Structures are given as structure tokens and as C-alpha cells.
Chain A
Amino acid sequence: MGVQMYMIGVKDELTQETSREIQRAVRTHDGLILMVTRTGPLVALEEAAVGALADHPLVRFIGPVSLNPRGFAAQRLEAIFSENLNKQITITHRAPEESLGQ
């Protein structure tokens, strides 16, 4: 199973609290928040976790999406995604002995 980009829609009006709650649920399933919109967040998520997240009481809708690199603001969106991912991903360097499996 691979990671795919999804658009999540909430059941009622999106508030800061519901947005945070959904983002927490996404993070619980090892997903990443790419961008937060007024409808709901755009996330990167393992396909296997979609079903569980779709059952969340606040989630009305979750649909697969992709970024068209020739889109009008594709570069701007990529920059936003990168900026948001940078806040969530911690890159750690392995020590040489770890990389050798010792």
C-alpha cells in the first residue's frame, strides 16, 4: 500500500477545534497535513488508514486527489506543502554503526 494525497471534508462547519481534532486523527494514523483549507485539510495518508479515518465522527468525506504540476498555482501549493511537511517531519541521521546493523 502506498501513500496518497486526500482531501478531507468535515461534517459541519470547520472550526479551529474540529480542524485540530481531524488533524490529530490524521497524525494518529501516521498521516501528514499538507495544507489546511476552509473545507478541511489536504493530507498525505497511507491507503490502509483511509477506512479508519473515514469512520471518524467529524469526517464527512475523504477523496483521493493529486497535484497537477501544470496547475496554475502548482508551484505555490508545492511550497505550502513543503513548508507544512517541514514542521512535521524530523529527519534524523543514523550513526554509522546503526546503518551497518550492529
Chain B
Amino acid sequence: MGADVGHELLSAPVPQMVYDLSQSIAKGQLALDTTSINTLKILANTKFDYLPEITETLTPHPITTKAGPTVTGTDVEVEESRTFPMTLLQAGILPTFYQFTETLIEVKISISSHTETKNEFEFGAEVKAEGGFLFGSASFASHVNYKTASTYSYSVEGSSLIRVVMRPAPMPPRAMPKFITVNTLVTPPQITTS
């Protein structure tokens, strides 16, 4: 019985579970990173027309009222600057990267065993004596009953729980392209890297 329990405990495939889970996490992480890198490529290739400036010019526009006096009025002239294509990545849309931050494996094994032994012992004796005119007789009889019954019950219940926690992670610095801005509006041209 004890050997069976020990065997059950040893047969719980914890090392295999840990290995399989690690493999799954590694594959999952690779798939997530691949998706994020693909998203980065798409964002870097998706352009939209960016309108950087709208200029509003206010000019006086005197209005003569019906009653006669002239009041100050204003005209607003709106000029849109030239639009230029900008990628979503330049504009500020970034791919989200995830990483597995926590992994939990919980294995629960509940073993219960019950042994019940029942013994019954019965002893009986009968003595019989008879006496007659010429002779006498006696007899003795006995019986022994012994009954034994053993009941064994044994149950093993197991449950396992695997929980992984995944959180957004900062974008790997090497995955993000550098933006080098050359500002020729000033002299000498100013170069900034971000």
C-alpha cells in the first residue's frame, strides 16, 4: 500500500509539466514578438496625409450699420498648409509588446486510504453424559469458527492549475527606429535625434 502511494506521488509529471509550460511560454513569446514586429513594419509603411498648420489671418473689416455708424468688423482668412505624407509610426502609433511576467504551476494531490479488518471468533462446546442401568456414556463436542475479513479502500485525487500573467512591455530599443530631424529653418541647420 505504502509503495503504491509513493508511486502515485512520483508519477505526478511535475518536471514534464514545467518543461512543457516553459516551451509553451517560449513559443507564445516568440509569436507575440513576431506579431509586434510585423505591426511595427505595417505602421512604418502606412502613411496618412498630415496637415501640420492652419493659418488664420485676421484683418479689419469695418461694417457700416443700418443706423449709420461704422463699427469695427473682422475678417478671418484661413489658409491650410501643404499636407505631406507621414507614417503612423512617425505620428506616434507604436506597436504594443507583451511579456510573460509571472508563471504559476500548482499541483494538488490528495491521497486517502482506509483499511478495515474484521475478525470473528466463535467457540462452542457441548458435553453430553448419559447414565444407564448397566453402562454409562459421555460425549464431548466442540466447534471453533474463525472468520476474518479485510477491506481496503484507496483513492487518489489530483488537480493542477497553470496560470501565466502577461503584461505590456516597453518596446525593445533596437526594434524602434531612430528619428533624425534636420531643421533647416534655422541657421545652421539643427539636427535632433529621438
Q: Is the CB of B92 within 8 A of A7?
A: no
Give min CB distance, A50 to chain B, whole Å. 11
Q: Is A48 an interface residue (CB 8 A)?
A: no
Q: Is B43 an interface residue (CB 8 A)?
A: yes
Dominant SS at the B interface? mixed
- Nearest to A4 among chain B residues (CB) is B96
Evaluate whether A63 and B35 lie within 8 angstroms (CB atoms) in the complex, with A71-B91, A77-B93 already known.
yes
Chain A hits for B91, CB < 8 A = 71-74, 76-77
Give the total number of A-B pairs whose CB atoms are below 8 A apart.
80
Choice from A9, A35, A65 contacting B94 with Cβ under 8 Å: A65
Task: State the interface size on chain A (CB cutoff 8 A).
Answer: 23
Q: Is B38 an interface residue (CB 8 A)?
A: yes
Which of B's residues lie within 8 Å of A, judged by CB? 35-36, 38-39, 42-43, 45-48, 50-51, 86, 88, 90-96, 98, 168, 179
Which of A's residues lie within 8 Å of B, judged by CB? 4, 7, 9, 35, 37-39, 42, 61, 63-74, 76-77
